[in-house]
Amino acid sequence: MRTKLHQVGRRLLQALPSVFGVVVISFALTRALPGDPAIYFAGAMADKESIEQVRIALGLDRSWLEQFFIYVGNLFKGDMGLSLSTGQPVLQELLTRLPASLELTFIGLGLAVLLAVPLGILAATHPGSWIDHVCRVLVTAGVSLPTFFTGLFLIYIFYYLLGWAPSPLGRLDILYLSPPTVTGFYTIDSLLARDGETFISSLKQLILPAFTLGLFALAPIARMTRGGMLGALSSDYVRTARANGLARATVLLTYAFRNAALPLLTTLGMVFSFLLGANVLVEKVFSWPGIGSFAIEALVASDYAAVQGFVLTMALLFVVVNLTIDVILTLTDPRVGLDD
Amino acid sequence: MRRRDFLKTAGAVTGASVLPFLKFLPAEAAGRSDTLVVVAGQGINSLDLHRKGTNRPSYQVTVNIYDRLVRFGVTELKDGSLSYDSTKIEPEVAESWTTSKDGKSLTFKISPKAKFWDGSPVTAHDVKWSFDRAVSLGGFPAVQMKAGSMTKPEQFVVVDDMTFRIDLPKPSKLTLPDLAVPIPFIINSKVAKAKATEKDPWATEYLHKNPAGSGAYKIARWDPGQQFVYERNEDWALGTKPGVKRVIVREVPSASTRRALTERGDADLYMNVPAKDAKEFKEGGKIKVSGAPIDNCLHVLGLNLKHKPFDNKKVRQAIAFALPYKEIVEAAAYGRGKPMYGAKEMTPSTIKWPQPFPYDTDFDKAKALLTEAGFGKGFETTLSYNLGLADWQEPTALLIQEALGKIGIKVTLDKIPGANWRTAALVKKSLPMHLENFGGWLNYPDYYFFWAYKYGHLFNSSNYKNPEVEKLVDETLHMSVEDPLYAANVMKMISIAFEDVPRIPLYQPYLDSAMQKSVEGYASWFHRQLDCRTISKA
């Protein structure tokens, strides 16, 4: 165990250069954007003089190098700057928006795993059967339907026509106020506050967007499960297990699935990171106050501090997710070591 | 724990994002006649309009929670819609005002009925502090104040506690209407000064999140990125008491979702509806659409005189004769645009602005003019448009591309992201052919010409330069509309614009809003934002 901890520590240290690289690159890239934030934020009627005033107020009249050192210095103080497009400190924006995106992504991914893994296993054990075809259709649909379309389609059916779903107004319906912040996940926070009503409401708001995301994430997971299972089922060890007369469930789950789960876990890590950044369209359609829509708006407005903050957060998240996946892999598969 | 108690404690914990007036939204109030639910595409980013970087949607906060010295009246249009009236200026904080004989100073008597939210009376000191702030902080507020000839704090004089005077370098018709735009709002200077620091003498950090005003509504809650809530100021005595007690403005970025919410009846009011949805709401009959052409605003095709061959007047006229005006109004504006083509005379007969230009789709004439100019074989150029306004600019650009192809002009389309648009089109003025829309807040033709036809001015993206226009605009801008020269000068300006067409008007756009049938009293404003003071719910 001590060596494991040591390994995790070393892994974290290895991440430091890449985080520093991200800080430099995000800084340079935002400056390379074609827009001029001073002109953008000076407002509709601003003349040359007022644009210059804004430029000086934003510190954009200084040299890049100077700006960079100020930025890094502030980062060490935990100050990520002020987002001009939303008027809030970037740190605060990220702290309120990241949980919103994470909550949605976790639930969407959870739904996808719950659906895709059994589906993939069934498809692999019965290749060519109707369940295999269902799996194929779902996977194709999930990949080829753009998320905003799925989102709008679900809203149209379940909200507009049937009236079953609550209004797509973000994390809570108009009636409810956000629960006191502990984790930033409304479902957890409302439970912590023992407020069942808000919990139900936040869960209801989550269903459609999470399903939209889930459908999108379904495809890679189901495919990886199916592929991995097919490979494992035709392997020698499964044949041996069968020949030895082990129970079907044991063969499938202990021998085949445990081996098939390795590539699946790696895929899950990728899908998770990808979903977190790519659910902008779902956020837009469901008015979800998440991190994706924040980043896009910041990018469009050349809102430097916000873009840098977003890129940095995502980079850190990627590091954490990859590390977590690696750790889980070593735990599930003794063949994998962190030093590989 | 009971829901209500819980919510009370919840407010105390969330702290910064919740403002002190309201800790919870009584659940039973939503959906009732005293609560209005509004959906908007973009959220606000500040409660202080004087702050740098404050976005357009935030203007509405200023309109509803602060008072100004004067305001514009509201009038009923022919189709029953309500709209602001640029010719009617009514008292707000000022109960009366007088102009000195030489027209160089305006004196306002402050109404004793004007009270800040904390109960203290609005005084001339507050007005002066607020106006000083508007001209001192720079940026857009300073530019807008300058339009009314107000540039220095020395111009604002406290005569006594309840009398306030503005001194002007020369008399101007623009000063009084400029006091009714959102910018010169009146702040409770005692509260603000208490929060001012040496580095921040105008308390921008404090007022950014904590308004201190006297207006008909207060901000009860602001959850950035999600919603904000207005609550009626029951003590407001400067006008008819607003009809709704609480207004919830929810941020809903997707236009399709906004439409679904409106049709399902979960939203009462949907501001700034795209023309296509407005048309379909109207045809559907279940949702009421109220809209008016935006005063002093035109969607135009700009031709940049710094790029050949647009320096040739004949080429510009040829293009003006080749544009598919009718199709543009139908396909890009879905009929929600006032035609600006087809006038018969090359000289205007009225000073009405905007008015139709003497051009219409006539390819023969266009070809003849092009040949005369020496471009009978046509030429190649690019047409740039703003992706942020793609809903009308994209179809318009495509129609223009097709039509100009018929007279031999090969057009390549160039899409520019919204954030880069201002730099390219208005500041560098580097786009040869482009779509542009400018609307002047102050409804005078000469004001439009000042911004859009004077050389070097922001919205003159065509680099148009005509000494006669320069002279006419300078002479007319501050002139009273009663001046005998005024009408003649304006008509002269318009006829030059007819003749030279550096900007070819396509149509005058509408500002449309959709609402439930129970919503009454909605009016369109020049600032294109929601003024909830006149609204009531049946």
Helices (H), A254-303: 258-278, 280-285, 291-300
CB atoms within 10 A of CB B122: 27
Q: Chain A contacts of B422, Cβ < 8 Å? A: 36, 39-40
Q: Chain A contacts of B151, Cβ < 8 Å? A: none
Give, rounded to a whole angstrom, the gap between the first and last alpha carbons of chain B.
36
Q: Are residues B169 and B311 in the same domain?
A: no
Q: List strand residue ranges (DSSP E) for B263-318, in order.
A: 269-270, 288-293, 297-303
* Residue range A124-140, pLDDT digits in tens: 888 888 888 888 888 88
Q: Are residues B458 and B335 in the same domain?
A: yes
**Does some domain include residue B242?**
no
B330 touches chain A (CB under 8 A): no
| Contact across the interface for A44 and B56, Cβ inside 8 Å | yes
Task: Show Cβ contacts of residue B66 under 8 Å, excluding neighbours closer than 6 positions.
Answer: B185, B186, B187, B211, B213, B214, B215
Q: How far apart are CA B168 and CA A257, in angstroms?
A: 83
End-of-domain residue from the set B153, B177, B196: B196
Q: Which of residues 399-458 of B touch A (CB under 8 A)?
A: 417-420, 422-423, 427, 451, 458
Taking only the tens of pLDDT, chain B with its 538 residues reads 344 443 343 333 333 333 333 334 544 444 567 889 999 988 898 999 998 888 889 999 999 999 999 999 999 988 888 999 999 999 999 999 999 999 999 999 999 999 999 999 999 999 999 999 999 988 888 889 999 999 999 999 999 999 999 999 999 999 999 999 999 999 999 999 999 999 889 999 999 999 999 999 999 989 888 889 999 999 999 999 999 999 999 999 888 899 999 998 889 999 889 989 999 999 998 999 998 899 999 999 999 999 989 999 999 999 999 999 999 999 989 999 999 999 998 899 999 999 999 999 999 999 999 999 999 888 999 999 998 888 899 999 999 999 999 999 999 999 998 778 888 888 889 999 999 999 999 999 999 999 999 998 889 999 999 999 999 999 999 999 999 999 999 999 999 999 999 999 999 999 999 999 999 999 999 999 999 999 998 8
**Fold exhibited by the domain A90-300:** MetI-like fold (1.10.3720)
Q: Which of B157, B148, B91, B86 is nearest to B124 (CA)?
A: B157
Q: Which of residues 94-113 of A touch B (CB under 8 A)?
A: 96-97
* Residue range A88-113, pLDDT digits in tens: 889 988 988 999 999 999 999 999 99
| Contact across the interface for A87 and B13, Cβ inside 8 Å | no
B329, with CB counted inside 10 A (0-12, 13-18, 19+), is: buried
Residue A33's SS3 state is coil
Domain ranges, ordered by start, for chain A: 1-85+304-340, 90-300
**Does some domain include residue B266?**
no
* Residue range A216-270, pLDDT digits in tens: 888 889 888 888 888 888 888 888 888 888 888 888 888 888 888 888 888 888 8
Find the helix or strand (DSSP H, E) in which B445 lies. helix B445-452
Find the helix or strand (DSSP H, E) in which B95 lies. strand B94-99
Domain span at residue B121? Answer: 88-196
| Contact across the interface for A46 and B3, Cβ inside 8 Å | no
pLDDT value of residue A278: 67
Residue B328's SS3 state is helix
Mean pLDDT of A271-284: 81
Q: How far apart are CA A227 and CA A234, in angstroms?
A: 11
B9 touches chain A (CB under 8 A): yes
Q: How far apart are CA A261 and CA A40, in angstroms?
A: 49
Q: Please report which confidence band the pLDDT of residue A44 belongs to, taking 50, 70 and 90 as the band edges.
A: low
What is the DSSP annotation of B351-395?
--SS---S----HHHHHHHHHHTT-TT-EEEEEEEEGGGHHHHHH
**Does some domain include residue B37?**
no
pLDDT value of residue B15: 35
Q: Please report which confidence band the pLDDT of residue A337 belongs to, taking 50, 70 and 90 as the band edges.
A: low
Q: How far apart are CA B315 and CA B379, in angstroms?
A: 11
Q: How far apart are CA A185 and CA A168, in angstroms?
A: 18
Torsion of CA B440, B443, B449, B452, to 10 degrees: 10
| Percentage with pLDDT > 90 across chain A | 8
Q: How many domains does chain B have?
A: 2
| Contact across the interface for B261 and A167, Cβ inside 8 Å | yes
Best of A169, A172, A200, A281 to disrupt the B interface (most B CBs within 10 Å) is A169
Best of B59, B263, B420, B436 to disrupt the A interface (most A CBs within 10 Å) is B420
Distances (CA, A) of B403 to B182, B367, B396, B413: 41, 12, 11, 13
Q: Are strands B35-40 and B246-251 parallel, antiparallel or unpaired?
A: parallel
A93 touches chain B (CB under 8 A): yes
Q: Chain B contacts of A93, Cβ < 8 Å? A: 224-225
Query: Are B33 and B537 spatial neighbours (Cβ–Cβ below 8 Å)?
Result: yes
A293 touches chain B (CB under 8 A): yes
Q: Which of A166, A234, A226 is nearest to A200 (CA)?
A: A166
**Does some domain include residue B184?**
yes
Shortest Cα distance, chain A CAs vs residue B418, angstroms: 7
Nearest to A35 among B142, B254, B423 (CB): B423
CB atoms within 10 A of CB B12: 10
Q: Which of residues 177-206 of A touch B (CB under 8 A)?
A: 177-181, 193-195, 197
**Does some domain include residue B119?**
yes
Strand partners, B227: B223, B250
* Residue range B109-149, pLDDT digits in tens: 999 999 999 999 999 999 999 999 999 988 888 889 999 99
Find the helix or strand (DSSP H, E) in which B99 lies. strand B94-99
Find the helix or strand (DSSP H, E) in which B258 lies. helix B255-264
Q: Which chain B residue lies closest to A52 (C-alpha atoms)? A: B139
Distances (CA, A) of B246 to B48, B64, B536, B537: 20, 12, 11, 11
End-of-domain residue from the set B196, B226, B244: B196
pLDDT value of residue B20: 34
End-of-domain residue from the set B170, B196, B222: B196
Best of B36, B205, B257 to disrupt the A interface (most A CBs within 10 Å) is B257
Nearest to A159 among B208, B251, B260 (CB): B260
Is the pTM higher than 0.90? The answer reads no
Tokens representing A305? Answer: 């501090």
Q: Which chain B residue lies closest to A197 (C-alpha atoms)? A: B3
Q: Which chain A residue lies closest to B15 (C-alpha atoms)? A: A180
Q: What is the CATH number of the domain that holds B114?
A: 3.90.76.10
Q: Chain A contacts of B30, Cβ < 8 Å? A: 174-175
Query: Are B125 and B70 spatial neighbours (Cβ–Cβ below 8 Å)?
Result: no
**Does some domain include residue B477?**
yes
Indicate the residue type of B492: K
Backbone angles phi, psi at A215, to 5 degrees: -60, -35
| Contact across the interface for A85 and B53, Cβ inside 8 Å | yes
pLDDT value of residue A45: 65
Shortest Cα distance, chain A CAs vs residue B264, angstroms: 6
pLDDT value of residue A312: 87
pLDDT value of residue B421: 85
Residue the block writes with tokens 């340079």: A28
ipTM: 0.80
More confident position, B108 or A7: B108
| Contact across the interface for A177 and B24, Cβ inside 8 Å | yes
Q: What is the CATH number of the domain that holds B350?
A: 3.10.105.10
Q: Are residues B455 and B316 in the same domain?
A: yes
Task: Show Cβ contacts of residue A313 under 8 Å, excluding neighbours closer than 6 positions.
Answer: A94, A98, A291
Q: How far apart are CA A189 and CA A181, in angstroms?
A: 6
Shortest Cα distance, chain A CAs vs residue B4, angstroms: 11
pLDDT value of residue B145: 93
| Contact across the interface for A175 and B419, Cβ inside 8 Å | no
* Residue range A162-183, pLDDT digits in tens: 888 888 888 888 777 778 888 8
Best of A47, A93, A173, A202 to disrupt the B interface (most B CBs within 10 Å) is A47
A53 touches chain B (CB under 8 A): yes
Best of B21, B286, B423, B426 to disrupt the A interface (most A CBs within 10 Å) is B423
Q: Chain A contacts of B250, Cβ < 8 Å? A: 169-170, 174, 287
Q: Are residues B371 and B501 in the same domain?
A: yes
**Does some domain include residue B307?**
yes
